[in-house]
Structure 1
C-alpha cells in the first residue's frame, strides 16, 4: 500500500509534467495544478512510513520513465534503442531500490 502511494504519485507526476508542456487553456492548466497537488500529497503521505531518499528516487525515476514513454506513445516523440535501453536501466534501478528498502514498520517489527 505504501509503495502504491509512490507509484500513484508518479502517475500524477507524469500528468502534470506533460501538462507543463501541453497546457494551453485555463482548464488544462487547472488539471496540471491538480496533478501537482495530488502528486506531492501522495508523495508526502508515503514518506511517513518509507525512507524519504528512496521514496524520492523511486518517484522521480518512475515519473521520468513514465513521462518519456507517454511522450513516445501519445505525442509521437522519436524513439530508438538507446532511449529504450536507458529507460530500462532506470527502471531496474528503481525496482532495485524498492526491493532493498524496508518500510519503517517492518524495521520496527510492528503494524502501521
Structure 2
C-alpha cells in the first residue's frame, strides 16, 4: 500500500469522527473537534485525489467511512447488530477492496525539461 492509499484510510477514520460529532456534539469543544475532523478528512481526501483516480478514492473513502460509522454506532452507542446490517457491511467492504485491487498504482508524473 502506498502513502496515498494510507491517506484515504486515515481520511475515512476522521470521517467517522466527524459524522459521529455531527450527531452527538453538545459543547464548543466537541464541535471544534468535529470541525477539525472535517478539515483533516477532506484535506487528506483531496491530497490523495491528486495522484489517484478520484472516483475510486471517493468510493473507498465513503465505503470505509460508512462501514466505520455503522460499527462505531454499534460499539459506542449501543445500536443493535443485525444479520442484514453485517452482511451489507461485508458486501460494502468487498466492493471497496475490489475497487482498490482493480485500480492501478499511480504513475509518477513525467517532468518535461
TM bucket, shorter chain: over 0.9
Number of residues of Structure 1 aligned to a counterpart in Structure 2: 108
So what's the TM-score if we normalise by structure 1? 0.93
Query: What is the CA-CA distance between 1:103 and the residue it aligns to?
Result: 3.1
Report if the CA contact (8 A) 1:49-1:103 is conserved.
Answer: no
Name the counterpart of 1:93. Answer: 95
Please give the secondary structure, in 2, of the residue aligned with 1:78.
Answer: coil
Residue segments in structure 2 that go unaligned for 5+ positions in a row? none
* 1:27 aligned onto 2:25: no
Report if the CA contact (8 A) 1:2-1:46 is conserved.
Answer: yes
Query: What is the CA-CA distance between 1:65 and the residue it aligns to?
Result: 0.2
Give runs of aligned pairs for residues 29-68 of structure 1, distance below 5 A: 29-68=31-70
Name the counterpart of 1:5. Answer: 7
Name the counterpart of 1:80. Answer: 82
